[in-house]
Chains A and B, each alone.
Chain A
């Protein structure tokens, strides 16, 4: 352990107390998670739509519709990812940078790959004269890119928790160090894939309900809510497996060791089950409500897992320094509120004018 402490980079001081950043990190990550769920599921549904659309006009229309949504959702998912990326660097930069260096080449290629994916999405949506066949495969390609992006992110986020795996650097320094040697990585990834579909499936159901009107929406509500419902249940094996292979002392905390965290993990588990059940019942509004709350619990739980993993290295955590910046933080919060107000005002005003 002592030896490991030595290779962990020294932290820089925080400008305000860590709790603020924890809150900002988890809050913005929550938004990011939802937007990624929506984006990923739209990409997958678009792909399904285009593939089934070869022989079925309705599916094709649906696929095209999803295609039109995709570029926006990519833009927002990325945008909402920037904030947690910022805050995690503030809190755990020394762990995070180290992990991202080990995986550096894959990490940097994400940028290239995402640009390709976005352009593909854009092309599918806006190139009216594009061939169906090309679009079909491009859609598959885009979905694959998004899934790959999630894979790399899970790699970095698990690798940063395990300094014991960092020594591999000395046998290869070119940044190809995927975290495949870590048993927690794969279940965490599969859990996410299903969680994203569970989130996005509900979005598609709600969206269809609003967009297509009572009769026409039926098959798409069914599609979205079934996708979400089954995906909810499919997260559970990964969830259980992940819990099982967590180090003993961490698992303990969530299973009876600590009353609060035990309740949290139980809520998270049953939250998924209830959401799944409601979704399969086509009760999409209650399902969405439960899902939103479950995700809050999930994000908090995820944060706790991280801090438990890193607890042995707590002397390397960033702590607040002497040079605090509370004034600047308030300026940021004011900007945030004002910015959101401006955005809502713009949306409302535009909506009103478009109607009239």
Chain B
């Protein structure tokens, strides 16, 4: 809206964010869980007087040092760069609201780094007590930064009272804050345990391996004992629309949910195997596979969280396109081009319509769609004629509640439709060519209704018209579609087509 868009249409913003974010969240959660793992395991080593355990911890510490220092810090800056490039309006808003939250996180991060260095370089060089204390400080600082940053992530999904008060603490202590914090914390522990398992199976043999595999198994067991209930708790604090998405209204969310469930199931299965096999046969390969399942679980979860927020970037406050909810209706009535700073064309003429359409795509659709790998809409539109493209643009919200209506005027909808058509076919259609003749019921249904309705008896299209048995009655309904539901486009076919479709609907219903 306000900002230029970093425009790489073949890749698309969401994919870039997903790529950087997934690396960052896994690594940073890992660093938190690893903090606790290090101190507790070190303590175990001292308590039981086992040098090989202390040694094992030391090796881990080196890895964590490398990991938190580099990956966590750099990808953390990276994710920040990325969202600022792809959602500058929202990032600016978040920064201005939570700047001191981030500033506190930064202090914690400085502590984390210093503590990590001291911890690693002073194994055996200072008293055990002080060394453990440094370990604890590392863990607490790392977990503290999770407390801060997760507040902001949770805020984006459930801003709660903040919408009305705009108060910092209302934003931080939002409805899903505690539940998501619990969930993420246990996830951190599960990750740390799974990593410990990998190194234990790789580095040790015989009894020592047995012991450490069991030890890490116990870690994972207790993490899961916290993770599963907190997942349900977290779910209960989801916004309603996200719950509906998971229940079936969003194909992407449902498929992510399956990934989530299956990967968790496999993870648990591995844990059971670990005990059944009495750890003997549980080797490095099994532990890698186990680690991968928790990784997939994590990815699926983040996907659900991101998808559940759509069409908002900050729920109920700002859309993914950077348009504030409060401005939406005004822009829709006026013009998207005139209300966006970074468009070349402000006034559409027949000559510049296609180009203007491209600009509209960039500011209205590119936030979620690309022309390439991910969520490519051109592919879906290949068989559509201009009229159909135009009709769908007029009723985006009807396709899925995860899109808003088009935020612009009628001329702009035309321009966008033309641009899509031109992108796909390289030319505009010859005007006034009527494709007559096709009075075929299924084809009409396919062309006019199937984007939002399924051809099955439990779809509202059939359910809610079950009392209409006359063709005339059905034709009347077809004439009033946009009155029945504001997200539905009016029927645009000819009278004959209307009749044919009405007949088809009644006939196919009675068959079913």
- Chain B residues, CB < 8 A from A350: 118, 122, 126, 130, 134
Asked whether B97 lies within 8 Å of A15 as measured between CB atoms, the reply is yes
| B362-397 residues at the A interface, CB under 8 angstroms | 362
Tell me the count of chain A residues lying within 8 A, CB to CB, of chain B: 67
Interface size on B, residues (CB 8 A): 62
Chain B residue with the shortest CB-CB distance to A323:
B166
A78 touching B74 in the complex, CB below 8 Å, given contacts A83-B106, A86-B103, A174-B6: yes
B51-59, B86-94, B191-199, B268-276: which one contacts chain A? B86-94
Q: How far is the CB of A18 from chain B (nearest CB, A)?
A: 12
Judge whether B96 and A15 touch: CB under 8 Å.
Answer: yes
Proximity bits, A1-34, B CB within 8 Å = 1, else 0: 0000011111011110000010010000000000
Given contacts A82-B109, A115-B74, A343-B110, contact A90 B6 (CB under 8 A): no
Interface string of A96-113 (1 = CB under 8 A from B): 011011101101101100
Does any Cβ of A come within 8 Å of B3's Cβ? yes
Question: Which of chain A's residues 52-80 have a Cβ closer than 8 Å to chain B?
Answer: 71-72, 75-76, 78-79
Chain B, interface SS category: helix
* Given A9-B88, A78-B73; A173-B4 close (CB under 8 Å): yes
A contact residues around B91 at 8 Å (CB) = 89, 93, 97
Contact (Cβ within 8 A) B107 A336: yes
CB contact list, B1-20 vs A, under 8 A: 2-8, 16, 20
For B130, the chain A residues whose CB sits under 8 A away are 349-350, 353
The answer on a CB contact under 8 Å between A101 and B2 is no
Binds B, one of A253-261, A301-309, A325-333: A325-333
With beta carbons under 8 angstroms apart, the residue of B4, B80, B108 that contacts A339 is B108
- B50: Cβ under 8 A from any A Cβ: no
Among A86, A90, A107, A169, contact of B4 (Cβ-Cβ < 8 Å): A169
A347 → B minimal CB distance (Å):
7
A242 at the interface (CB under 8 A from B): no
A124 to chain B, nearest CB (A): 14
B137 contacts chain A at the CB level, 8 A cutoff: yes
Interface centre among A6, A21, A332 (most CB of B within 10 A): A332
Write out, one digit per residue, whether chain A residues 209-247 have a CB within 8 A of any chain B CB (1) or not (0).
Answer: 000000000000000000000000000000000000000
User: Which of B63-71, B213-221, B461-469 binds A?
Assistant: B63-71
B66, B74, B111 — most chain A CB neighbours (10 Å) = B74
Does A288 count as interface, using CB distance less than 8 angstroms?
A: no
- Check if B103 sits within 8 Å of A332, measured CB to CB: yes
Shortest Cβ distance from B71 into A: residue: A115
Chain B residues contacting A118 (CB-CB under 8 Å) are: 69-70, 74
Q: CA A94 – CA B122 in complex, angstroms?
A: 45
**Which residues of chain A are near B137, meaning CB under 8 Å?**
342, 346
A127 beta carbon closer than 8 Å to chain B: no
Is B46 positioned at the interface, with any CB of A under 8 Å from its CB? Answer: no
Q: Are B85 and A82 in contact (CB under 8 A)?
A: no
Q: Taking the complex as formed, is A354 at the interface, i.e. its CB lies under 8 A from any CB of chain B? A: yes
Cβ of A85 under 8 Å from chain B: yes
Once A107-B85, A342-B137 are accepted as A-B contacts, the answer to whether A318 and B110 lie under 8 Å apart by CB is no
Query: Do A346 and B69 form a contact, CB below 8 Å, given A98-B3, A100-B84, A102-B4?
Result: no
Q: What is the bound-complex CA distance between A323 and B171, given in angstroms?
A: 13
Q: Do residues B93 and A119 form an inter-chain contact, with CB atoms below 8 A?
A: no
- A105 and B16 CA atoms in complex are apart in Å by 11
**B96 with A318: CB separation less than 8 A:** yes
Question: Is there a chain B Cβ closer than 8 Å to A150's Cβ?
Answer: no
A72 proximity list for chain B (CB < 8 A) = 117
* Contact A111–B74 (Cβ < 8 Å): yes
Residues of B within 8 A of A119 (CB): 70
Taking a contact as CB atoms under 8 Å apart, the answer to whether B85 and A332 are in contact is: no
Nearest neighbor of A14 in chain B, beta-carbon distance = B96
Cβ A323 vs Cβ B167 within 8 A: yes
Q: Which residues of B contact A346 (CB under 8 A)?
A: 114-115, 118, 134, 137
A335 touches B104 (CB 8 A): yes
A354 in contact with B126 (CB, 8 Å): yes
Q: B75 in the interface, Cβ–Cβ < 8 Å? A: yes
Residues on A with beta carbons closer than 8 Å to the beta carbon of B114? 343, 346-347
Bound: A36/B130 CA distance, A: 31
Contact with A along B104-139 (1 / 0, CB 8 A): 101111110111011000100111001000100100
Query: Which residues of chain B come closer than 8 Å to A15, judged between CB atoms?
Result: 96-97, 99-100, 168
- Assembly CA distance A342 to B89 (angstroms): 37
Residues of A within 8 A of B99 (CB): 15, 21, 86-87, 90
Q: Does A175 contact B (CB under 8 A)?
A: yes
User: What separation, in Å, do the CA atoms of A337 and B6 have in the docked complex?
Assistant: 39
Assess whether B73 is in contact with A107, with CB atoms less than 8 Å apart: no
Residue from B73, B100, B125 having most chain A Cβ neighbours under 10 A? B100
Check A169–B108 contact: CB distance below 8 A: no
CB neighbours of B117 from chain A (8 A) = 72, 75
In the complex, what distance in Å separates the CA atom of A271 from the CA atom of B102? 35
Asked whether A97 lies within 8 Å of B134 as measured between CB atoms, the reply is no
Contact of A332 among B88, B100, B118 (CB under 8 A): B100
A window 292-330: CB within 8 A of B: 318, 323, 325, 328-329
Contact B73 A79 (CB under 8 A): yes
Please, which residues of chain A bring their CB within 8 A of the CB of B285?
none
Q: Taking the complex as formed, is A48 at the interface, i.e. its CB lies under 8 A from any CB of chain B?
A: no
**A122: interface (CB < 8 Å):** yes
Q: Is B78 an interface residue (CB 8 A)?
A: yes
Cα-based distance from A101 to B86 in the complex (angstroms): 8
Q: How far is the CA of A7 from the CA of B2 in the complex (A)?
A: 8
Q: B104 — which chain A residues lie within 8 A by C-beta?
A: 331-332, 335
CA distance A170 to B4 in the complex (A): 9
Contacting residues, chain A, for B422 (C-beta < 8 A):
none
- Residues 336-354 of B, flagged 1 when their CB comes within 8 A of A and 0 if not, give 0000011010000000000
**How far, in whole Å, are A174 and B69 apart by their CA atoms in the complex?**
30
A353-B73 in contact (CB<8A): no
Interface-central residue, B5, B80, B96, B362, by most chain A CB under 10 Å = B96
User: Which listed residue (B5, B103, B127) contacts A173, Cβ 8 A?
Assistant: B5
Least CB distance, A69 to chain B, in whole angstroms: 12
- Closest Cβ of chain B: how far from A302's Cβ, in Å? 22
Q: In chain A, what residue has the closest Cβ to B8?
A: A174
B93/A101 in contact, CB under 8 A: no
Counting CB contacts under 8 A, is B95 at the interface? yes
Q: CB distance B103 to A83 under 8 Å?
A: yes
- Nearest CB in chain B to that of A342: its residue: B111
The answer to whether A111 and B118 touch (CB under 8 A), given A7-B342, A78-B74, A342-B137, is no
Q: Are B66 and A90 in contact (CB under 8 A)?
A: no
Q: How far is the CA of A318 from the CA of B93 in the complex (A)?
A: 12
Minimum CB–CB distance for B411 against chain A, Å = 21
CB distance from A224 to the nearest CB of B (A): 23
Contact in complex: B126, A353 (CB < 8 Å): yes
Looking at the complex, which one of B16, B69, B115, B362 makes contact with A108 (CB distance below 8 Å)?
B16
Chain B residue nearest to A102 (CB atoms) is: B4
How many whole Å from A95's CB to the nearest CB in chain B?
A: 11
A-B contact pairs, 10 of them (CB 8 A): A7-B342, A15-B97, A15-B168, A78-B73, A83-B103, A169-B342, A173-B4, A173-B6, A347-B114, A350-B122
Name A's B-contacting residues (CB within 8 A): 6-10, 12-15, 21, 24, 71-72, 75-76, 78-79, 81-83, 85-87, 89-90, 93-94, 97-98, 100-102, 104-105, 107-108, 110-111, 114-115, 118-119, 122, 166, 169-170, 173-175, 318, 323, 325, 328-329, 331-332, 335-336, 339, 342-343, 346-347, 349-350, 353-354
Q: Sorted from nearest, which 5 A-B pairs have the closest CB atoms? A: A104-B6, A111-B78, A173-B7, A9-B2, A12-B96
Contacts A75-B73, A111-B78, A349-B130 supplied; 17 other A-B pairs, CB < 8 Å: A7-B342, A9-B3, A89-B92, A93-B91, A94-B3, A100-B84, A104-B6, A115-B70, A166-B4, A174-B8, A323-B166, A323-B167, A325-B168, A343-B110, A346-B134, A350-B126, A353-B125
